Structure 1
Amino acid sequence: MNTVAPDAAQFTNRTIFDGLIARAAALGAVPYAIIWPCEAHALAGALQAAERGILVPVLVGDSTLISTAAHEAGLSLAGHRIVEAATPALAVKRGIELVHGGEVHGLAKGSLHTDTLMHGVVAQESGLRTGRRMSHVFVMAVARRSEPVFITDAAINITPDLTTKQHIVQNAIDLHQALGFGAPRVAILSAVETLNPKIQGTLDAACLSKMAERGEITGGLIDGPLALDGAVDPTAAKIKNLTSPVAGRAQILVVPDLEAGNIVVKALSFLGQASSGGIVLGASVPVLLTSRADSIEARLDSAALGALYARALKEQAG
């Protein structure tokens, strides 16, 4: 089936996320530690997610700063729990303790730096590491497209080696299935569709495709190397004589490195006005990374992803 529906004009860049938000709310709010929500943008996003029935936010940070931010933004903290932490680093530590105590099922970035949050999460002593490398997935909704596009990894792994890419691919496949979108078609992107020893991404793509054939990556159809046009556009794939089940119909785009991923995501966001949510996978609980520039809408989108994926992980754990 073509990824663009015959009546694709009805699909806006909000259709998909509105559905995810509604589904998350219908299943019930999931407790999340909001780490250092000491500025209005971070606090408002968490409180809006609570109002929509997506998350039960536990606000972890300096209570005075949180209260001041709420007052200045005209937000009410009534009924919301605050866990005291004097610094962002301590807030990360307290949030991780809440995870281990079973009080929250995920972590969400507030107004602290991403490096501070992820340093605490990836530390060996955090107890959140698994056998997988952690990686980030942007889930993007593009107008006139009836299903989301997953892009990975554009936020965590800068120049991933082959083993890391294996984990990146598997994490994205697992998310696609956990969100109810089924077994995905995965394109390993490069600049060309042929092997070129001078372009490492083409060699990695071929290896990943072979690893999938041998069952070392499971749950999706994988092909690469594929250039972006041949991955997502059926006409381009036909012109290029690409006959794989993934070409022209990819649902997950695996970029060769963080720079390429960042460019693809921002091009879709700022030139294509795509909506997006982001999530870090590979830890024992999901981690939501939002930018300080993100709108409340974007924070709600990430919250929906986080709630649905946290629920799926709990169900898998029994």
Structure 2
Amino acid sequence: MEIKALKDLLPYCLENCTKKTLAVIKAEDDHTLTAVARARKEGAIEAVLIGDAPVIKNLLAQIGEKEEDYHIIDEAGEREAILKAIELVHAGEVDFLMKGLLETKNLMSAIVAKTSGMRTGRLMSKFDFVEIAQYHKLIALTDSALNTKPDVEAKKQIIQNALDVMYSVGIQKPKIAVLAASETLNPKLQESADAWKLKQMWENGEFTDCYLEGPISIDLALEKESVEIKNYQSPVGGDADMLVCPDLVSGNMMGKMMTICGGRAAGIIVGAKVPIVLMSRAAEIDDKFQSIILGAIASQKGA
């Protein structure tokens, strides 16, 4: 099946993936538990809940869930909960992780530590699928959370991480837009120079099974009208599947602006030993649910 909207992730997951086990780190959050419960009831996952067990059990009761349907591990301390989750990954007992009631920086500092064993040799990065009413399909956005000012080699790894996720959901030849202020190369602007270099890499076969355009402005990446007005010639023009942002600030602002304006999103960290579901505490329950499903799919394919 073809995935055009976030609602398509669940049927794709159930059709193409085996049931996966998710570990929620510091699971004492009702919105997170509600999303996890929905994913479990849909048959996509089993769940391990790590945190303050009495609090977790109370929250499960409040949302109408039975505690015996979950594996609950009592680790009230934040660091202890993170380390327990990492231990479960290495033991092969869980397939992916999810951030619960803890700070992202605390989670990721533990994950990226050399002693964690969670590194794969590739840069970790955030992948978001965003659904907006004005666009005809899901748009991938990267990187909005981890890499502050990635150089061209880092961007290459970020793109490969994102490609792995897109392949996992059945998108065969993603169209990648490496964003800059203009489609005209400006060597004085680092993001423009990087985008040009990345296109050269693509032309030289360093990226396969995709189209890559850069530098390209966001209007040319997403708007058919702009493409026609400027007579812009590229298969990516007006039909991009992925937006590669110049840096963390631009990616973060773009993602938040899309959701503020009514868009919906699903987001995971990729490039680690297993995918990590990572959404803001303020995210809608449905967005957290869709992120869990995306994480389950990505874990099937080893993204």
Structure 2 distance, partners of 1:252, 1:72, is: 39
Residue by residue over 1:40-87, the C-alpha shift from the partner in whole angstroms, topping out at 9 and shown as x without a partner, is: 122222122111212211011121221233344454323210122131
1:168-205 Cα distance to aligned partner (Å, 9 max, x none): 11111111111111110100001111122331110000
Q: Identify the residue that residue 76 of structure 2 maps to in structure 1.
A: 86
Q: How much has 1:28 moved relative to structure 2?
A: 4.2
Q: Which residue of 1 aligns with 2:14?
A: 25
Specify the alignment match of 1:192 in structure 2: 182
Question: TM-score, length-normalised on structure 1?
Answer: 0.89
Q: Which residue matches 1:260?
A: 250
Shift of 1:307: 0.8
Query: Is 1:306 the counterpart of 2:299 in the alignment?
Result: no
The answer for the alignment partner of 1:173 in structure 2 is: 163
CA distance in 1, matches of 2:270, 2:4: 24
TM-aligned CA deviation for residue 218 of structure 1:
2.8
SS across alignment from 2:237: coil
What letter corresponds to residue 13 of structure 2 in structure 1? Answer: A
The CA distance in 2 between the partners of 1:226 and 1:83, in whole Å, is 48
**Amino acid aligned to 1:20:** L
Match of 1:235 in 2: 225
Structure 1 residue 29: Cα displacement? 2.6
Matched, 1:122 2:115: no
Residue type at the aligned position of 1:39: D
Aligned residue pairs, count: 300
CA contact (8 A) 1:173 1:219 kept: no
- Separation in structure 2 between the aligned mates of residue 200 and residue 81 of structure 1, nearest angstrom: 48
Q: Secondary structure at the match of 2:68?
A: coil
- Counterpart residue number, 1:210: 200
Per-residue Cα deviation, 1:181-240 (whole angstroms, up to 9, x for no partner): 111010000111112233111000001111111222333111111110011112211222
| Matched position secondary structure for 1:205 | helix
**Aligned alpha-carbon RMSD (Å):** 1.7
CA distance in 2, matches of 1:18, 1:74: 24
Residue in 2 that maps onto 1:281: 270
1:47 is aligned, of 37, 51, 60, to 37
- Which consecutive unaligned segments of at least 5 residues does structure 1 have? 1-13
* Residues 4, 137 of structure 2: 8 Å contact kept: no
Aligned residue for 2:177, secondary structure, equals strand
The percentage of aligned residue pairs carrying the same residue is: 36
**Residue identity in the other structure for 1:159:** K
Question: Contact 1:108/1:288 (CA < 8 Å) preserved in 2?
Answer: yes
Aligned match for 2:212, one of 222, 227, 239? 222
What is residue 148 of structure 1 aligned with on the other side? 138
Q: In the alignment, which residue of structure 2 is the partner of 1:9?
A: none
Q: Which residue of 1 aligns with 2:154?
A: 164
The amino acid of 2:156's aligned partner reads Q
Aligned equivalents of 2:250 and 2:87: distance in 1? 35
Contact 2:125/2:269, CA 8 A, preserved across alignment: yes
**Which consecutive residues of structure 2, in runs of 5 or more, have no partner in the other structure?**
none
Contact 2:130–2:263, Cα closer than 8 Å, also in 1: yes
